[in-house]
Each structure stands twice: as C-alpha cells, then as structure tokens.
Structure 1
Amino acid sequence: MDQSQRKSELLKKYMGNTCTRGEFDELFEMLRQADNFDDFDLAFKNHWDKASQVATPKAANLGGIRQNVVMRLWSMRRGRVRVKYATAILLICGAALFLFNRYQKPEAPVYQTAQTSAAKTKVVLLADGTRVTLNANSSLRYPDNFNADKREVYLTGEAYFEVFHDAEKPFVIHSGKLLTHVLGTTFTVSAYPQAASPLNVTVLTGKVAVKHQQANALAVLTRGESATMSYGKTRFELTKLKNPEDAIAWIDDKLIFENTDLKQVAAVLSNKYGVSIIINDKKLADQRITAIFQGQSLQGILKAVTKITHTNYTTVNNNTYTISTNKQ
C-alpha cells in the first residue's frame, strides 16, 4: 500500500470512528507534515456525500463531533480556502485528540502476578510508585498500568502496602471477601485462604477503610489500629497496637506473638512455611503464649513452642505437624 492509499484509508477510519489510538496518532502526524491535502480528497468527498444524507448526530457524541468536523473541513476545501483549511485541520485534529483521550473507552489492563514461596518474601513496585512487600506463600495480581478511575490489585496471602498518594485514584485491594480502600498510606493486609487464618488489616500510617463483603461489616482504621475477622464471625474485632511496626516484623524474618493463642500461632507458622500444623485439642488450641522468633527454622520454633506449653509435636514427611498434650 502506497502513502496516498494509506492516508485515504486512515482518514476513512477516522471519519467512521473506527481507528485505533495508534492509527489516530499516525493520521495526525501525516496531517501535521503534509504540504497539501490532495491525497485526502476522495475520502473527504465520500464522507460528505454520505453525511449529507443523514441527520447530524448530537454534539455530545464523539462520532457526531468528528462528522461535524469533517463536513466543515470539506466545505472549506470546496471553497479552496487552502491556508485556513490547512490550519483548521491541524487545530481540529488537536481538539479531536483531546476528545479521543477523554471519551475513548480505556483498553483492558494487562495483569501480572507476583508470587512467593515458603519462608520467602518479595518486593513488588507498581506503576504508580506503590511498593508492596509480599509475605511467604502469597500472591499479588496487578496491572501494568492503572488507567481507570481507581487503582485495583488482588491479593492472596499477606502483604505490606506503601501506597503512593493520589487523591483522584483510590487504591483498592481485593483479598477474598475483604475489600480495603485507601488513598495513600502504609498498612498490612492478611487474607490467607485457609479457614483457620483470620482476615486482618493493620494500619501503620494514614487511614484505611476495610469492608467484609459477605458479612457487610465496615471499619475505618488509623495508625496502630487493627481489624480482624475470624472464620464464622460477622463483625470485626478492633484492637489498638502499642507498636504498630510489629505487624511487619515478618519483613525482617521475625515472628512476634504477644498473648497469642496456639491456634493462631499454628496458622501463622503454617502460612509462613507452607505446611499443615494441627492442634488436636481445643483446650490446648486456646492456650496463649508470648514469644519472639527471628531467623529460626520451623523445627526450632516448634521445639520452643512445645517447651513453653509443655506439649509435644510429631511430623509426617515434614509437611504435616501435630501438636499434642500426649507424649509420643
């Protein structure tokens, strides 16, 4: 296809409101550099003949705006107003480019997925400057670019978010039944799929709104506040942390348990190390401990926990662990 045919084809697509963004940019550049507009004459004439037979679309419609633009240009062309015509077509195309950007339906975003394995963390930098640190056995689905009126990502597991502030584009995290909505702040979200793992949001700075969509529960949190929804519950349990930074101790491979029941300890260890930890006694599961572990193996932590609680643990293929009051 020669240059003349390409010009005519692009203009025809433009006037028919079927050109892509790339084709529109190509046409605009051709018009900007053109010494004359003879190559566009046939396309203009054909459109003029068709447009004269139909009613003028409403001005609020982008296709209608383009038709009115073309009809005026062709009228000017027929009058041989060469200089004004050349100037007008550039100005109108510039306006059309603005309208194209304003009214064109955004292209579907392209998503990427970041994942972590057992006992590993990963930092993900999003297109808007937001920094996300994934905890072990977690995944984050996010777009290459945020081109809508809000920034949305999808989390499974746990992550620490340092959200870049943008008042015009709220940041929304989908994590199972949990919906977290912010403008710019730092906080953690824990939403592992296992039933034993409670849903949790803890705020380090700023303000966060969190909603459980099934229970229709809503909480607004500020620094140091934490909202937890345990399995089978319909309300958030709200707590105030003395040291909010403890919520991200896992970034430094540190686990902090402060008056935490063994059921929750087992859930945290299971998620971190990608194993199954079973407590076969309800009374034992409710027993609470306070301890800090850093840089230790799972076996080392279990030895310490069972020593504190005067229990024992057994393992099957280093994948399933059982904590029991009965000595084996």
Structure 2
Amino acid sequence: MQEPVKLPTAIQDLLEKYLAGACSPEEVRQVRKHMADPALEQALDTFMQAKWAQLPESISDDRSVLSKERYSRIQRRIGVRKTIPFSWYYAAASVVLMLLAGATYMFRHNVLDIIDPIETITYTTAPGQQLSVRLPDGSRVWMNTASRLSFPEKFRGDTRHIYLSGEAFFEVAHDKKKPFFVHVDNFYTRVLGTSFNVKAYPHADEPIYVTVATGKVAVGVSDSLEHDRELTRLTPNHRVLYDRMAHTICGDSIAVGQVSAWREGRLVFRQATLPEMVLTLERWYGVSITVQPPMTSVTCSFTAEYYAGISLHDVLEALQITGKISYTMEGNTVVIQTQGSCR
C-alpha cells in the first residue's frame, strides 16, 4: 500500500508554529503561500486530516458530528477539484488551520455558516393582520400588524438572535446558557427567559419602546464592530423609550396590559398625540391618513380604548365627538381636520 505523502519537515514545523500562534507576519505569508501550492496539495490534505482528528471537544458541542459531517463536506468539495478552482482547497485548509489555531467563537460560526448554512425564516404581517410564531427553541412570538420577523431555522452556538421590524410580544424559553437577543438595527434587547413587548416600526423619528411583562431585560446598542454597550435594565411593568435620532434613552412605569392590548385586538391610547394615533390607525386598518393643518402644528393628545373588531369609521366618529377633529373618508383615504383645542 502506498505511503501517505508527507510534508517536508521544515513546512510541518512552520505550520506547527502557526498553530501555536507564534508566526511572524512574514512566516504567516509563507504559510499562505504553501497552502496555495498545488504541488503540496496531497501532503497538506494528509496533514489536515491528522490535525482535524486532534481537534478538542471545545471546538464543537459534538466533535464527532463536526469531524465526520462538516469535514466530509470539505473533503467532498476537495474531491471534485478538477471542476473547482484550487482556491477552494486553500480556503478549506485555512478553515482547519484557523480552527486549530484557536479562532474566535464568531469566526468559527461564520465558517460553519459557509460549509453548513442555516436557512433564515422570515414572517411578515399585512396591515390589520396579526400572527403567532413558534421559534426553534420553543419561544413564542406574537406579531402585530405591518411587522417583519426574521430568525434562523435553528439556533447555533451559545446565543439566540432574531431580527424585528414593527411590533411583537415575546415569551422566551428560559436557557441561561443561551441569551436571547432581539435586534432592531443597532439596538438590541437581551434576555435569558422572560416576556416583553418591543415596538420598533421603521421610522427614524419614531422611538423604540421595550416593555417588560415578566423577568428582567437588558437593552443596549451595538457599534459598527459589533461591540455591545448596555444602556439599562428593566423589570416588570417598566418601559424604556430609545430615541433613534438623538440616541437618548428614558424610562417610566406602565401597565404591560395596556401596551400589549393589541394581542387581544384592542386599540388603547393613553395621552397619545394625534401623529401617534394616525400612525397606529394607518397600520391597523391599511389606510392613508392626512392631517390638516400639518401635524407639526398639532398639540392635542387623546386617551381612548376601543374594543376588538371596531371599524375605522367608529373610531373616527368617537374622535370627532371630542370636538378636536372632523374627518372625511373615501375608500382607503382619510382626511382629518383639526378643530378647536387641537390647533
């Protein structure tokens, strides 16, 4: 039987030094040059397999699965080198060497995303529509109208990340080893297991609201290098408001039932400005609302609660009774004329 091809001793020593993290910049360039050399392809393959077999269990929750399944994927791609540029083999060798060299958690999982990709699942709700979604970890999410939710088909590693645009109420399955993150642009909400409401529609001048029902929640922002900066922590029946324009944060106490009444189909307003009400009604009923004079000059606020299933016509009639507005409605277009104390 033919002996496996071995790397020259000098190259082996150089790779061992690289794995120990002791290479100079020039030596690192030499390593990359050797990995890109077709003449060393078979010998590098033998070296990779030997080193892969030595991977510690800390590299993966299931070392045998990692070595057998994911390395075999690399090998299968290497096995069709005649139809694939040699750069893929160089990349595969780089993956193994970087793993062995103690690459960071994020790098390892970015690599796995390449050789073992996970599908992203996205749900959206139309105006007036609400939806209940079950996440891969058993957590449950209720999506409000005109919202978008994205998450992986399975949570990999020791964190759980999902992405929201709009409003949703979360009941997060407890797992102290896997923090749960809800991302809205660079703003995040971090929990271990709790229930809370996030309101974050995609308008730069509209604040992000996070309200806690049970447990404890941390909120913060991430910079361009994905460094997290925690801003504050919340306990039940407390709410935080994050101003996306001014990058400021403030909080208050509030009954969570008031915030999440939308889950029961109810519309609840507490000292809501007319612009706030207009945005909610547009999303809820899928209409376009114009205010005259322009809303920048409107100063009035409203406190009201409407039962599930109420029509837009009935809502507008109730608002008109206050004497603060009048309205006309034609199809999906509404014009609100402010009156009296609302100007």
Query: Shorter-chain TM-score category?
Result: 0.5 to 0.7
Kindly provide the CA deviation profile for residues 165-187 of structure 1, in whole angstroms up to 9, marking residues without a partner as x. Answer: 12222111111342212211111
Kindly provide the CA deviation profile for residues 175-233 of structure 1, in whole angstroms up to 9, marking residues without a partner as x. Answer: 1342212211111111111345331111111111122558x782211111111134643
Which residue in 1 is equivalent to 2:287?
Answer: 275
| Matched ranges for 1:185-204 at <5 A | 185-195=194-204, 197-204=206-213
Greater CA drift, 279-288 or 260-269: 279-288
Q: Distance in 2 between matches of 1:218 and 1:263?
A: 28
| Matched ranges for 1:18-29 at <5 A | none
TM-score, normalisation: structure 2? 0.65
Which residue among 246, 259, 264 is the counterpart of 1:233? 246
Do structure 1's residue 112 and structure 2's residue 125 form an aligned pair? no
Which residue among 161, 175, 183 is the counterpart of 1:174? 183
Displacement, 1:123? 0.7
Identity of aligned residues (%): 30
One-letter amino acid of the counterpart of residue 261, structure 1 = T
Displacement, 1:113? 0.8
Which residue among 125, 145, 151 is the counterpart of 1:142? 151
Do structure 1's residue 285 and structure 2's residue 324 form an aligned pair? no
Displacement, 1:287? 1.1
Q: Distance in 2 between matches of 1:274 and 1:195?
A: 20
Q: Distance in 1 between matches of 2:292 and 2:204?
A: 16
Whether the 8 Å CA contact 1:58–1:64 is kept in 2: the answer is: no
> Once superposed, what is the RMSD of the aligned Cα atoms?
3.3
Do structure 1's residue 310 and structure 2's residue 277 form an aligned pair? no
Kindly provide the CA deviation profile for residues 1-29 of structure 1, in whole angstroms up to 9, marking residues without a partner as x. Answer: xxxxxxxxxxxxxxxxxxxxxxxxxxxxx
Displacement, 1:96? 6.2
* Matched pairs, number: 257
Q: Distance in 2 between matches of 1:63 and 1:263?
A: 67
Which residue in 2 is equivalent to 1:55?
Answer: 12
Residues 212, 272 of structure 1: alpha-carbon distance in 2 compared, 3 angstrom cutoff = farther
- What SS does structure 1 have at the residue aligned with 2:210? strand
Q: Distance in 2 between matches of 1:115 and 1:261?
A: 27
Residues 223, 63 of structure 1: alpha-carbon distance in 2 compared, 3 angstrom cutoff = farther
Displacement, 1:111? 0.3
- What SS does structure 1 have at the residue aligned with 2:284? helix
Whether the 8 Å CA contact 1:197–1:267 is kept in 2: the answer is: no
Do structure 1's residue 97 and structure 2's residue 97 form an aligned pair? no
Q: Distance in 2 between matches of 1:116 and 1:190?
A: 14
Whether the 8 Å CA contact 1:51–1:67 is kept in 2: the answer is: no
Kindly provide the CA deviation profile for residues 294-316 of structure 1, in whole angstroms up to 9, marking residues without a partner as x. Answer: 22112221221222243112335
Displacement, 1:122? 0.4
Greater CA drift, 51-60 or 131-140: 51-60
Which residue in 2 is equivalent to 1:158?
Answer: 167
Residues 212, 314 of structure 1: alpha-carbon distance in 2 compared, 3 angstrom cutoff = farther
Do structure 1's residue 322 and structure 2's residue 331 form an aligned pair? no
Do structure 1's residue 250 and structure 2's residue 254 form an aligned pair? no
- What SS does structure 2 have at the residue aligned with 1:286? coil
Q: Distance in 1 between matches of 2:52 and 2:157?
A: 28
Whether the 8 Å CA contact 1:254–1:293 is kept in 2: the answer is: yes
Which residue in 2 is equivalent to 1:127?
Answer: 136
Residues 162, 274 of structure 1: alpha-carbon distance in 2 compared, 3 angstrom cutoff = same
Which residue among 248, 262, 273 is the counterpart of 2:274? 262
| Matched ranges for 1:30-109 at <5 A | 42=1, 45-47=2-4, 49-51=5-7, 55=12, 58=16, 66-67=49-50, 97=64, 100=67, 105-107=111-113, 108-109=117-118
Whether the 8 Å CA contact 2:325–2:336 is kept in 1: the answer is: no
- What SS does structure 1 have at the residue aligned with 2:198? strand
Q: Which runs of 5+ in 2 are unaligned?
A: 21-44, 54-61, 71-98, 100-107, 224-228
Displacement, 1:129? 0.7
Q: Which runs of 5+ in 1 are unaligned?
A: 1-41, 71-94
- What SS does structure 2 have at the residue aligned with 1:302? helix
TM-score, normalisation: structure 1? 0.68
Whether the 8 Å CA contact 1:130–1:162 is kept in 2: the answer is: yes
